[in-house]
Amino acid sequence: MEFFELLKRRRSVRKYKSEKIPAEVLEKIYEAIRWSPSAGNLQAYEVFLVEDRQRLSQLARAAFGQDFIAEAAVALVFCADPDQAASRYGARGRNLYALQDATIACTFAHLAAAALGLGSVWIGAFDDAAVWQAIGSPKGLKPVAILPLGYPAENPPPTPRRHWKEFVHPVE
């Protein structure tokens, strides 16, 4: 799909069909993530694929009862790897770059999902420790986003936005 068209069509989708996502479609999303830029190309992120129904329910509870997560075909959990970024960049790597790397990776996945006709929504509200446990307590990693994925069973209208003149500020 053409990029600017994609940006306008992307929605936050919270209702999914029961249809499974073919492995080759998921791989296209992983391939998109792969090309995301990262600080010093350290790729200080890891992605956890949750398919098991019980694990998805566990994520939904960890996200304070966002039950639609349990109805998704799969969910991707994006983790920052602060130690990886800190290994070259110290505190700034730990506190900023790792978080940005994982956030950019999730942005690429969210857009790729929309380009492939999938629905997804960025979940940021969750109990970090509970999500971390749901994905197997990976040492040193910090979950920063959950992205449930499925074929969309809703097509919500676009949400309103500021005009760009409200957020772009020319510096004198």
Q: Which of 52, 53, 87, 117 binds its own copies (CB under 8 A)?
A: 52
Which one, 22 or 161, has the nearer CB to its own copies?
161
- Under the binding rule (CB under 8 A), the answer on residue 43 touching its own copies is yes
**Could you give the CA distance from residue 152 to residue 60 in angstroms, rounded to a whole number?**
18
**Could you give the CA distance from residue 122 to residue 110 in angstroms, rounded to a whole number?**
8
Contact in structure between 101 and 45 (CB atoms under 8 Å): yes
Q: Which of 15, 25, 83, 122 binds its own copies (CB under 8 A)?
A: 122
Joined together, the tokens standing for residue 79 give: 């983790």
Q: Which of 21, 62, 72, 99 binds its own copies (CB under 8 A)?
A: 99
Nearest Cα to Cα of residue 118 among 50, 47, 17, 27: 17
- Under the binding rule (CB under 8 A), the answer on residue 104 touching its own copies is yes
Query: Site mask, its own copies, residues 76-95, x = CB under 8 A?
Result: -------------x--x---
**Could you give the CA distance from residue 28 to residue 118 in angstroms, rounded to a whole number?**
12
Q: Which of 16, 48, 68, 151 binds its own copies (CB under 8 A)?
A: 48
Cα-based distances in Å from 44 to 12, 78, 118, 140, 143 = 26, 11, 26, 11, 12
Q: What is the largest CA-CA distance in the chain?
A: 55
Q: Which of 13, 110, 132, 146 binds its own copies (CB under 8 A)?
A: 110
What does the binding site for its own copies look like in residue numbers (CB under 8 A)? 1-4, 6-8, 10, 12, 27-28, 30-35, 37, 39, 41, 43, 45-52, 55, 89, 92, 96-97, 99-100, 103-104, 107-108, 110-112, 115, 122, 124-125, 134-136, 138, 144-145, 159-164, 167-172
